[in-house]
Structure formats: C-alpha cells, structure tokens
Amino acid sequence: MPAAWAAGPTVQVGDNVTLASYYQIRGADCASLRPPLVRIVQPPRLGTATVVQSQGNSGPGGRCAHTAVPVTQIVYRGTQPGQDTVVWEVTHQPRQPASRRDSAAIVVVPRN
C-alpha cells in the first residue's frame, strides 16, 4: 500500500494532467536545491506517466515564497477510458535519503 494516496483528476482521452510537483528549498537562505528524484514504480494501464523536469516557483506562503526552483513533475496522459492508477517513489536529498511512495487514481473519460 502506498504511503500516501492522492485523489486524482478526471481527464479526457488524449489530454495531459500534472499529478504531482516536487521541489526542494533550503529554508535558512531560501536557496533552491536540485529537485527530488522521482521514479515510477507502477505504471498506469490506461495511459502513460512521464517524469518531467522543469522550472517553477515555490508556494505562496512563508519567507521563501515564490522562489524560482527546479521542479520534478509526474505528467499523466490518458489513452483509454476507465479508472487508472499510477504509483511513484520520491527521494528527497540530501537531508532525507529515505524514499516514500505516492500515488494517484485517475478517471479517464472519452472525448466529447
């Protein structure tokens, strides 16, 4: 059983949706760190899941609000209608070398 269960979205066949975004920031000086390592451990059956690296901003709260950070995201694309699940492993570095598992349930609906 995954350590965390994220309620996922409803997506139309052929559409992409971001399931999760991860970044790391050092609180003492708001320095951005390399993003956590993310690995898909249970691929979806009715679509594809891809680990994507991009640039983003930290959240709106706290003293490090809106800091530019490298981000790792899980992007899902539905290819067949039905209920799907993706499970991935996240490893934060360097302070938390232990990995954790996260997951999402996605409902894929036909295009209108």
Q: What is the pLDDT of residue 96?
A: 62
Neighbours of 51 (CB within 10 A): 14
Domain boundaries, the chain: 6-109
Helix, strand, coil percentages, rounded to 5, for the chain? 0, 60, 40
pTM of the prediction?
0.84
What's the pLDDT tens digit per position in 55-110?
988 888 888 888 899 999 999 999 999 999 999 999 987 666 678 999 999 999 99
CATH of domain 6-109: 2.60.40
Q: What is the mean pLDDT of the chain?
A: 88
* 83 conformational bin, left if phi > 0, alpha if psi -120 to 50, beta if neither: beta
- Does pLDDT of 32 surpass 80? yes
